[in-house]
Structures are given as C-alpha cells and as structure tokens.
Structure 1
Amino acid sequence: MRSKQTFSISFFVRKKKNQPEKALLYTRITINGRSREISLKREVLTDRWNTSGSRMMGSNIESQQINRKVDDVRSKLYQSYDDLKKENQIITIDALKNRFLGNDIKNITLIELLNYHQCKMEKVLKYGTLKNYSTTKKYLIEFLKVELRIDDIYLKQIDYKFILNFEGFLRVKPGLHNNGVMKHMERFKKLMRLALDLDWIDKNPAARFRLNFKSVDMIYLSKSDLKSIEETTFETEKLNLVKDIFLFACYTGLAYVDVKTLTKDHLKIGIDGKKWIFKRRVKTNTPIRIPLLKQADLILQKYSNHIKILDSDILLPVYSNQKINSYLKEIAAELNINKRLSFHAARHTFATTVTLSNGVPIETVSKLLGHHNITTTQIYARVIDSKVSSDIDSLREKLNQL
C-alpha cells in the first residue's frame, strides 16, 4: 500500500552578501521530504521580513506588493499540484517545479503549436497548402485577441466551447462561406491531432467536431461554351492570351500551377511516337503522362517565341491566378456564358466535355488527371450522368408531343 504523500510550501529570504540589509525572496517546495528552492526574483529589506509569518511587515506599497506575490505563488503552487494529481501524473518535486515554471509539455500554447507546425511543415507541405495554414493561423490569432481578448492560450485550456466559438467567429467573416469555414476548421482539427500525437494534450477536444461541407455545383464548359471561346478573337492582347492559356488547360487537364511551371523538359515523345507531357503534379507530386492533343500543341507553338518566355525553359507566359480569374470573368461576360468561370473550370472541362463525354474510359481519365483514387474521378462521371438524364428527359417531352 502506497504511503500518503506529504507536500508543503514555505517562503524565506536569503541575505545578499555585499548588502546584508537587503535579501532575495525564495519559496521552498517539499514533497516527501525532498525540497527544491525557487527564486521569486524579488528583493526585500531584511529587517521588514517576518520569518514566522512569511510576510512583509508594514502597510506600505512595497510590502503589499511582496505579500501579494507570496499569496499568488502559494496559490499557483497548490493549483499546479492539484492539476498534476487530476492528470494522474507521478508527482515529484521536479515535476511540480516544472509545472509551476511552465517548463513541462503540459503548458504548450496554441501559438507555440502553430509555430511548431509552420516550422516542421515548411519543407513538407506545398506552398499553397502552407499559405492556407498561414491564413488559418492568422484567423486563430485574431480570434484570441478580438473575441477572447488574450494573446495566447494553453492547449489544455482549449475545449469544445472554444472550437464552436471559433467556428462562429469564422462564419461572420466577409466573403467566407460554409465550405471555406469548414476548410479552416479541418486544418484546426489536424493541428489539434498533431498536438495529441506529440503528447501535448491528453484529449483532443476537436475530435468530436463534425465537418459539414456542402456540395457545390461543378463549373465546367459545355461543348458550345468551349467552341464559343475558341472561335472568339478579343480586342485586347491580354484577353486573347488568357483565352489561350485557359484552352490549353481545357485540353490537357492541368491545374493552374502545373501550367505555370510547365517547361520544355516536360515535353517528351510518348510510346506512340507523338508528343506527351511527362510531369509531376505540384499539388500532390503524383506523376502524370498526358498525350498532347492538337488544340493544346497549336497553343504551345503559338507562344514558342513569346517575349516573356524567350530566354527561359517555360513553355507558356502565364499571368497570376488572380489576374487570370479576373480576365476569365470578363471573357464569360462578353460571350454571355452564365457561369462563374475560373481557371479550375478548365480541369473540370477536360474531365467532362473533352474526355468522358467523348467516350474516354474513366480509368484513363483518372490517370490523365493524376488522381490517386478513381472515386475522385467518379465525381465527373456523375456530372455526365446527370447531363444524360437531363437530355433524355428533354427527349421524352419531345416524343410525348408526337
């Protein structure tokens, strides 16, 4: 049977060698006869210290401040002892001292976790993913300051209420819709799971939070939309350039960053003796091999001597994603394409209108897109199925009128 643990706290002063009229204030913690001293980094007048009462004598401001410090330290030491007990920790003199001083892993803060993740993942995650985590970090820091009016919080203090309040904080952010909020909450859940894996928390309060993504309509060009863009020559050079870069993505299925980083080294002669693109997706590092369709090859030839890429290995002069998306909105408006056009719609168009609708097997499309799992590609197949269903409904109506 384990013997009862003894625990005591005392305060004392130690005279300064060169100034015996002054002394430094210490606390002594004792557990089962073993003691540790901790300097409180306070200087007191030796003759005003009451040893038996562990208090400063007198009612001046200095005495009041020292006495408050003594009370505060005593309270925090007892709290640290109780916390260790509740956590079923083995309470040793060193464990208590470290808990009191904040040197143990139980006192890691949220900001420390965010900084740790940023440092460790800098060479692991892609630039875009890191940028997204930075935005989540920014919102978390803003939430602490604006809503909780604190600069930081211990991980062990984060509870389910904190998580719900953070979600509520995000939901009133201008321009941040449900799925955007859920993306930030998803990253926060991953951060808290990391804290659990590192043994910085005993229980993950974010584990119970359920992500609720809402399905959104997939934006892609129909055959007529695609033809309309291809056959239009715009008045400005910038719109014609954006049109061509966008069409190149429509006929290759490449994401924006993969088009932007496309170089001459990525062009190879494939097994059929024709031009292919051999590349790794920037986002996932997945290898992709894409036979170059005539429409895409003509665009490469058109810009082979463009001034912006003349002295480089880059194949296409690509604007920033933000600028391209802005110009695509102008193109959609000018051609009366009633869709929220963005560069990513090109990848969707390749999967649906260019390949699946023309009978390319889903397994082939999955490889062309660089998907790890064919279930991801099946999303596009469902879009095609809904189009088939819609067309058949129209056919039924026409047949019923005969």
Structure 2
Amino acid sequence: MFTAAVGSAPGLSFIPLLFVADGSFNHTLITPFVNLHVSSTCCRKSPLKRSSCIVKVSVSGGAKTEGVGQTEGVREDSPATDDAIRQSRRSADWKAARTYKESGFIYRGRIEGFNGGGLLVQFYSLLGFLPYPQLSPSHSCREPHKNIQEIAKGLVGSRIAVKVIQASEENRKLIFSEKEAIWEKYSQQVKVGNVFEARLGSVEDYGAFVHLRFPDGFYHLTGLVHVSEVSWDLVQDVRDILSEGDEIKVKVIQIDREKSRVTLSIKQLEDDPLLETLDKVISQDNHIGSDNLSTSDDLNIEPLPGLDIILKELLQEDGITDVRISRQGFEKRVVSQDLQLWLSNAPAMGKQFTLLARAGRQVQEIHLTTTLDQEGIKKALQRVLERVP
C-alpha cells in the first residue's frame, strides 16, 4: 500500500507518483498502470483545471519499475508537478547525487549551458556545476586556438562523463569533475617509467602542469613536473625554460592512485651528470694514457680551493661521520672555473656515498660516510653551502 499523487489528463488514465514509507518522494513510475486499487481519495482542482488527488493505492499484477532517479516519465503539465511534488523529486535526486559521490560511479549528463567559471550539467531534476579546472585537458589541447569560453560554447548540448565530487543539498552545491572520470578510465594505462609525448599546460613557480598524449592522439591526463625535475642544472625560474603550449617528452616517475596524481620528469630522459663517478674520467687501471685526463698520487691530494671549509662544515652535520678525498684527476677540458660539488645518484656502498668536486680541469672524488639517505645529504649540503661564504 502506497500513498500517491494522481493526475489526470485527456486521453491519459492516471499517473501514480509514489511516496515511500518515510514520507520522502520516490519518482519511480509504475507501468503498465493496471490493477491499481483506490482505497480513499481527497480531491482538489489544480491551476491547470485538471483534477488531482492524494489517494491510497495498492499495486498488483504486472507492475514494472522504471528506476529510481529517472524523471523522464513525469509529465510537466501534470498537477503532480506542484511545489510539493517538485521538492520531493529534488530531495530524491539529492540523495542520488550523494550516492554517486560515495560510490564513485560515473554519470553521463547533458551540458545545458556555461558561465564564467564552468559548465552547467543536468543531473536528473538538478543542475550541477563543472568548473573549468575540472575539465579534461583533451578539450583545450584539441582546440588550442580557442579560449575556454569558446570551447564551453561548443560543448553545450553534448553529454559528458563526470564524477560527483561534492553534493550538498543544504548548501545547494552539486559539483562535478570530468578529470576524475577520465582518471578512472585511463590511469591504468600509465606505469612508472613510461615515456609520453606531452603538451605543456600552465607554468607555475613550483613546476609545470603537463598533459599526456595517449595512443588515440588525445591528451587525457595531466601530471606535474616539479621544478626539481625540469633540468639537472639549477633552475631559478621554470618560465626561463618552459612555456605553455610547448611539445615535450616526459617520464612518469611516480603515481599516486588514491590522490589521482602523476609525477613527471623531463631531466630524467637525459643522462644524469650526477651518476658520474671518477671512473668515467679516470680509467680503471689509472693509466695516464686516458683520453680525458691524467691522475695524481692519492696520498698528496690537496683539496680544491674552498673545498676544505665545506668538508669541515659537513662533519658538523648530524648523521655524517666521515668525509675524505679519495682520488683526483685532471681533465684536458675545462668544465668550470667555479667550484662545483655534485652528489652522485650511484647506489651507496654500505653507508658510503660519493661526491664529486670539480673546478677548472681538476676533479676530486669524495667519500661521505653517513646514516642519511640521498635527500638527507642534499639538505645537509644545502645548509652547508648557505653557511659557507
């Protein structure tokens, strides 16, 4: 037994719109409308001059539900669309929106319009909002000559796959993300170590956002190249090296599937100068006949100018127990007259890391004994270099 709002119109029998036991409206339509037994009625006239009643009905024989949340069957010219019914329908749709958010289901909605901040997307009887930053990069990359307003205008009337990321009936906020929906579809195709053709998006102080091109030719996902992953050289301003719209190659170095994030690198597609050890400039047998340099007696090595102060300061850092120069070479070419100190990315031998100090033609290999990892050593070096004039 249900309570229903009943409307009649010429050529149409009546349409039951059911209220569930807790009093909320469930706009599931019952079809075909057979064996509906009316137990009591209370009728009134609607503004449309069609009779409408609230009745008690029981349903039997061949009833078929069309699905919760579907509004296509409700006749807008029916008295069932009075304020109370509309409010009940909206309440049910808000519940559906919360269900989509909690479950992570993808919804395909029709784009009804746009404004300065994003697209307006129909969600059953509700109108939700898709902010421009939550659009897939494929739209702007496909039509790079158009601004976001022109792209939005071209999308009106089409359907779009989105996820509900906010559903607050109290605050009347229904927010969608196409990026989240696209992530679910394409992220499994991305693995650490993959190399992608890509297009640069916005460039910020902390790095650059990069759109990844997939085999279908579209740019579906966006990742971040942190400023530290732009170049092996020191980068003061990312904008000195990268510009929006540039076509580049990037390497995937990290994926956070819970946060839907991809971390990328440009520099790791090039040879890492920090992977060098002195073995690359001094032959293994230490013969002077090397094409690049000659060697000197390890026992008589004098630290490069300014290096002795740096080494003493390193010993003051927590976690560093020993610092010593092991070998020295002389290159035929001049790398730089300034003192350069590099930390090798070569695997540590026990607790020992390798540093390279270079100035002019001289190259000195330094062994650093420490309990720190590479990141800890880099931070210690940075602190020391800030203290040393």
Which TM-score band (shorter chain)?
A: under 0.3
Normalising by structure 2, report the TM-score. 0.27
Greater RCO (Cα-Cα under 8 Å, separation 6 or more): 1
Structure richer in helix, relative to its length? 1
TM-score (norm 1): 0.26
Instruction: Write 1 or 2 for the structure with the bigger share of strand.
Output: 2
